[in-house]
Every structure is written in structure tokens, then in C-alpha cells.
Amino acid sequence: MTSPTALATTAASSLHLTLGSPGVYFAPDSVDVPQRGVRMDVCAFVGVAPRGPAWERADDPALDGSLLPAGRARSSAVPIESWAEYEEVFGGYGGPGLLPHAVAAFFAQGGRRAYVVRVVPCAPVPNPEPPARAVLTFSSQVRDGHGADLQLQARSEGRWGAWLTATLTFRVAALPAPGLDGRMLVLAPGSAVPTGTLLRLRPQGGADELRLVTGITRRPARDGTGWERLATLDAPVTGPLERAEEVTGILDVVDGDPARARSERFTGLGLTADHPRWLGELLSTSSRLVEPLSSLDAVLPADPRLAPADAVVTLCGTDRFALITPGDFFGTDPTDPQAPPAGLDALRDLPDCASVVVPDLYAPAERPPAESVSVPATLAGAGFKPCVPIPGSGPTRQPRVDLPGLRLDPSLHDDRASIVTLQKQVVAFAEQENMVALLDVPPGLRPRDVLSWRSSFDSSYVAVYHGWLRVPDPRADGLITVPPAPYAAGVIAATERARGLPFGPAQALLAGVVDVAEGPGMAARAGAADRDALGALNRAGINVCVLDRDGVRITAARTLARDPAWSQLTARRTVSFLERTLEQQLAWAVFEPNGDLLRDRLRLAVEHLLLDLFAAGAFAGGSPAESFFVRVPAAGTPAGPETGGADLLCEVGLAPSAPLEFLVVRVLRAEGDGMLSAEGGR
């Protein structure tokens, strides 16, 4: 192993520049070293929401003119940096899914950045009945380019669109008096009128007329002093002009959602597709509330008086939760290469996403309410009379919008096998994208079924958490049961930001958690049988949520890899961090000549990053030589068939440190000293 001092000397000698006769010489580039590592605290959440981006335009800049998905992606990854931002985009706790609870838990534990993907079913057939999106129709004051009523649609599907309203008003700005030459408007110097501008012109002694600028040209000025700009009009104007005005639009869109009102305003809008601030394009790319219903090339006021036009919902949107199936989470159908990207596909090639949680992968069967053993209250007296129950005194249950296409009961063998299949697909995606999938043990399993479920997995790209959590219901009084993986994602992110990547996120208190619904760690006064069960689960790589005296904790940070070298989550994340950082920050090596200088620069860059990790405590060795090595074979050395014929190979060996999971306290009785205690790590 080369020491850091010797390494610097080697690099300096490789970059030495021999000077000859006086002149100008080109010095080689300085050594490139990674300045900072990639983020590993960003987590993605994929689930069901009542609103949010869906069927967004992908590659085709033109609208498809229908509700079909031509040129659109079914799901989009939206970066979110707070719970308030999630509410703004995806609608808070509405809907039947667990996605909002998962995202709220992540930020409550200290997470700072997440990607959220809304899962929706396949596109409806043309003219669905009822439509998935709300449609807004403007009053007769404006028309589209074909003379029909102007219509917009809600940006995404769902009943939320029924709260939308919109108002289009017009602003006029006077232009310096232009000259008139048939269909050509001679613009005054300094007039900035782009192609596609709508003008309101008044001939002397006449009424206002609307004209469109179809092109801008120039010609030598008649007085010979320079050039003059000409605006070509779509129709001639008779007589000299008394006044000329430029017309632009102002669109106000209001979402009257009683839970969270939203609004947007777009100003300075062009009213034809040739204008640089064309209304249709701005709505398609910038609005989160609406977009044109169909292909739109112009918005034309019906009258030169330019009265404001209001739009109201004429067709309400619908929620299609009941149509969502597990296939909607896994993107493109391999049998249909033309299918639009969806679900997890939206997370591909994200440079900073390190973990993924899919809280709505399946919907566990809802357990029946516990039967009350108390004597029901009645209106009967002390005598023998019929018992009349008091209306409304019994327990009430709020009706729940179901996800029938995702409903699976983990207590049933066939349903449990289906859950395992779906979770394996998530793990396979995480392996492809170099992420860690955070999964939950299905609720309601007996201890032997938990270990049987765990035997289906063998991967360092997955960490699993046991013991669903009881937390306050944000929509009503009482508690609800939620999965623990999103809480673990927040703890992982907060731990990395506070202490660094090498430190495991185990034993951290979970904010906002009241109780553990099931599992061996659900009681603070666990007996010997519970401790034995905890030990068995820990050895199996299952991270258990435990109710302690001061709150709920996650006991460990392990993966489901059977190889002991990959059993710790910190080992997997450290290696993924290194792979991601080197892949992104050593891209310059692809374009360099393949020689000794390139190899020296590559070795120095990699060791620089590894030394930073060593200083942060990421490795088990007591020195750099005991913690890692970097090997870059000389040019011409065969790289081996497993490298795909690469002509440059860099091998990196690591010894990741294992996190401290247990503290052992020994209590001794020493003669003359009373009781003594000593702590030791294990």
C-alpha cells in the first residue's frame, strides 16, 4: 500500500514538465480529485395520492390532443423538501393510501429531501365516462383557434379538480403611433412587438379591430437614415390609424380546496402559438393546476372590447383508486415497448436518490374492530322493561375508500406468497439502481411465519423492519397503524446528516410514535421469551421496533444478505456511496489518453476519497493500509472477461466498520469496594 506521502511524490513526478528553450509551454491539467461525495440521505416514496403529477409530457413538446398517453409518462419523480411542500403538490392525507403517512414520518424524523412518485392506473379510453380529469370551459368571451369554446383540464386526475376556477383578463399597452402600409404596420423606433402578438387597432373615425402579427421584417427607411421594422398583419386595416395597442393575457387559476387553497397567476401571456410567451406552452410546462384540454394554437377574444372571461368546471374528475393494481408500481410492460414509463421507472438514473420505500405496494386486510365487553348504555330503568340502546352510543367507524386491486391478507399463505413476489421485484429494482429498498415485515404474522418470510430474501440492497407502529391519526381522534420503514428512512437520513455515513441509524428514538402494534418488542417490560425472539430476529437480519421506557426505537441496522460481510446496512451504503461518487466525479477519465499519467491521476483521486472516509471512521482498520487498497494495473494488463473488455481497471478493496449495536455492562462484587460496573462494546 502506498502511503499518502509517497503517493503525493509519485503524482508530482508524473506531472513534471521538462522545459527547453525559452517559449510558451502547455502545462498538463491538475490532478482531479472528488471535491465532495454524493448525497446518501435522499429517499424516494412510491404510492397512492389523491392528486399530483401524472401523465406528464415526456419527450413530445406538442400536446397529444386527447386523453391518450401519447408522449407522456404515467408517473413522475417530484423532489420534495418539506411536508408542507408535499401537501401543496400531492394533497395531504386525502385518499386511501399510506403514502402521506410515510412522507410525513420521513420529515418528522429529520429527513431533508425526498422524491415522491404518484401511482395511477393505465390511461382511460378516449372520452371516458366519467372522465378522470375535470374540464373547465370558458364563457363565450374567448374562443380557441378553431372558433370553439376555450377549454382547460385539471393537471392530473382526481375529484380534486372539481374545486378549480379560472379567469382570463386582457391587458392593453399603447404603442407609439405606427404607420400603415396595407397589411404592413410600420413600427416606431423602439417598439418591441414579437411575432404572434395580438394588436387592437383603431382607424381614424372607425371602431376597434383585432389583428395578429404574423411576421416581423425590415426595410431601408424612406428618409434614408437607417432601417425600419415592419409587422405583417393577418388582415388589412383601412385608413390611417388613430391608436394601436398591444394585447396580452393574464390568467388566474384558483383551486378552492377547503383543506388547502391554491392559486396561480400568469401574466404577459401571448395569445397565439407563435408568441414567445404563448399561453398554451406556459400552462403545459409551468402550471401545477391546469393544462390545455387539446391541441391549442390560439386564444382569441370574441370582441375587441376585451371583456374578462370566466371558466368553471363543466365535467368533474374522478378518483380511480379502485383500478390500481400491483403492476402499476413496476412501470413499463416488457411485452409492450411503447408503454409509457410508470411507477418505479420514474426513479431511474436519479443521481442523489439512495433509498426507496413503497408504502402502498399492497394493502393489508383491515382487521375487524375489537368487540366491546362493557355493558351497553340504555334508557331502561330499574324495572323489567325492554332495553333501548342510546342512539350513537356504540363505536363508530369512518367509511374507508378501499384499494381492492392491492388488497392482500398476509395471514393467508397464497396472499403472503404474492407479497413476497412483489417485494422481490422492489429489491430487484433497487439492485439495478444501486439503491437500498426499505421494506416492512407484513403485519399479523406469527413468529415462525416471520422467519419463513425472511428466508425468501438474500440481498444487501434491502433492509427490513418488523413491528408496525401506532401513531396519532392526523384526520381524527385516536391512533392508526402505519409501517415502520418510512420512519427508518428518516432516521437514516438524519443520522447521516448529523454524524456521517459510517454511523448506523440503530437505537434512535422515533419521533411521534406512541406504541408498537405487534412483534416481540411491543412491551417495555419484555420477558425472557421476547428477548429470545428479538435475538433470533436480529440474527436473521430483521430490524425490530421496540417500545422502550422513553419511546420506540429500532434495534439494529442490518440487511437481508446472508453473507456476513454485507450484513450491516452501513457496509452496503458505504460501498454504494463510493460507487456513485466515483462514477459521477471520475467521468473525465473516459476522454483522457490511456497511459501512465491517467492511471496516476485515477489512483490519486480514488485514494483521496478513501482517505476522507477513513478519517470519518468508515473503515475497520487502524491505518489506511489496513482499511483499503487501490490497484490500477499497468496499461496492457488484461482486465479479465468479467469487465467486458475494458482497457482500464481500478480495483478498490474496503474493510467497512461495523456499527456498535450493543453495550455490555458487567456488574462485579469486589471485596472492600462494594459493587463495581464496567461498560464494554460488542
Please tell me the predicted confidence (pLDDT) of residue 66.
Answer: 45
Q: Which of 504 and 328 is assigned the larger pLDDT?
A: 328
Mean pLDDT of the chain: 82
Please tell me the predicted confidence (pLDDT) of residue 515.
Answer: 92
Of the ranges 116-120, 370-374, 394-398, 551-555, which is most confident? Answer: 116-120
> Nearest 5 degrees, angle CA 38-CA 41-CA 44?
105
Q: Does residue 680 register a pLDDT over 50? A: no
Q: Give the distance, in angstroms, between the CA of residue 513 and the centroid of all CA atoms in the same chain.
A: 24
User: What is the rounded distance in angstroms from the CA atom of residue 193 to the CA atom of residue 244?
Assistant: 12
Task: Give yes or no for a contact between 126 and 66, defined as CB atoms under 8 angstroms apart.
Answer: yes
3-state SS, 593-614, equals CCCHHHHHHHHHHHHHHHHHHH
3-state SS, 156-212, equals CCCHHHHHEEEEEEEEEEECCCCEEECCEEECCCCCCCCCCCEEEEEECCCCCEEEE
pLDDT tens digits for range 165-218 = 999 999 999 988 777 777 788 888 778 889 999 999 998 888 999 999 999 888
pLDDT tens digits for range 294-310 = 888 999 998 999 999 99
Task: Give yes or no for a contact between 365 and 407, defined as CB atoms under 8 angstroms apart.
Answer: yes
- Give the global pTM: 0.83
Q: Is 56 helix (H, G, I), strand (E, B) or coil?
A: strand
pLDDT tens digits for range 126-154 = 655 678 899 999 988 898 888 888 999 99
H-helix or E-strand containing 11? helix 4-14
Q: Name the one residue in this structure whose C-alpha cell is 383543506.
A: 259
Task: Give yes or no for a contact between 427 and 383, defined as CB atoms under 8 angstroms apart.
Answer: no
**Which residues on neighbouring strands pair with residue 44, listed in sequence order?**
115, 356
β-pairing verdict for 227-233 and 209-220: antiparallel
With a pLDDT cut of 90, the percent of the chain lying above it is 46
Please tell me the predicted confidence (pLDDT) of residue 596.
Answer: 83
306: its cell numbers: 376585451
β-pairing verdict for 241-255 and 198-203: antiparallel
Of the ranges 29-43, 87-101, 369-383, 396-410, which is most confident? Answer: 87-101
Q: Does residue 653 register a pLDDT over 70? A: yes
pLDDT tens digits for range 4-22 = 333 332 233 333 445 556 6
Q: For the chain, how big is the Rg over CA atoms in Å?
A: 33
Please tell me the predicted confidence (pLDDT) of residue 8.
Answer: 30
pLDDT tens digits for range 241-296 = 888 899 999 999 999 999 999 999 999 999 999 999 999 999 988 999 999 988 88
- Those residues with Cβ within 8 angstroms of residue 555's Cβ, 6 or more apart along the chain or in another chain: 506, 507, 521, 534, 538, 543, 544, 545, 546, 661
182: its cell numbers: 396595407
Task: Give yes or no for a contact between 292 and 136, defined as CB atoms under 8 angstroms apart.
Answer: no
H-helix or E-strand containing 265? strand 262-269
Please tell me the predicted confidence (pLDDT) of residue 384.
Answer: 62
Please tell me the predicted confidence (pLDDT) of residue 523.
Answer: 60
Task: Give yes or no for a contact between 127 and 55, defined as CB atoms under 8 angstroms apart.
Answer: no
Q: Give the distance, in angstroms, between the CA of residue 100 and the centroid of all CA atoms in the same chain.
A: 13
Tell me which long-range contacts 82-88 makes (C-beta under 8 A, separation of at least 24): 82/107, 83/107, 83/108, 86/116, 87/260, 88/260, 88/262
3-state SS, 273-329, equals CCCCCEHHHHHHHHCCCEEECCCCCEEEECCCCCCCEEEEEEECCCCCHHHCCHHHH
Which residue, 459, 466, 562, 553, is CA-closest to 506? 553
Please tell me the predicted confidence (pLDDT) of residue 381.
Answer: 57
| Cα–Cα separations (whole angstroms), residue 256 to 155, 166, 251 | 15, 11, 16
pLDDT tens digits for range 532-562 = 888 889 899 999 999 888 899 998 899 999 9
Please tell me the predicted confidence (pLDDT) of residue 361.
Answer: 96
Please tell me the predicted confidence (pLDDT) of residue 78.
Answer: 95
**Lowest-pLDDT range of 53-62, 363-372, 492-501:** 363-372
Please tell me the predicted confidence (pLDDT) of residue 23.
Answer: 62
> Please, which pLDDT band fits residue 25 given cuts at 50, 70 and 90?
low
Q: Which of 531 and 436 is assigned the larger pLDDT?
A: 436
Please tell me the predicted confidence (pLDDT) of residue 238.
Answer: 79
Of the ranges 32-36, 453-457, 525-529, 662-666, which is most confident? Answer: 453-457
pLDDT tens digits for range 489-514 = 999 999 998 888 888 787 889 999 99
Please tell me the predicted confidence (pLDDT) of residue 338.
Answer: 65
Please tell me the predicted confidence (pLDDT) of residue 33.
Answer: 47
Task: Give yes or no for a contact between 320 and 161, defined as CB atoms under 8 angstroms apart.
Answer: no
Please tell me the predicted confidence (pLDDT) of residue 103.
Answer: 98
Task: Give yes or no for a contact between 192 and 232, defined as CB atoms under 8 angstroms apart.
Answer: no
pLDDT tens digits for range 107-126 = 999 999 999 999 999 876 66
Please tell me the predicted confidence (pLDDT) of residue 375.
Answer: 54
492: its cell numbers: 437514516
Q: Does residue 64 register a pLDDT over 50? A: no
User: What is the rounded distance in angstroms from the CA atom of residue 182 to the CA atom of residue 388?
Assistant: 91
**Which residues on neighbouring strands pair with residue 20, listed in sequence order?**
none
Please tell me the predicted confidence (pLDDT) of residue 349.
Answer: 87
Q: Does residue 643 register a pLDDT over 80? A: no
- Those residues with Cβ within 8 angstroms of residue 145's Cβ, 6 or more apart along the chain or in another chain: 272, 296, 297, 298, 299, 300
Please tell me the predicted confidence (pLDDT) of residue 21.
Answer: 60
**Which residues on neighbouring strands pair with residue 309, listed in sequence order?**
168
Count of beta carbons in the 10 Å neighbourhood of residue 214? 16
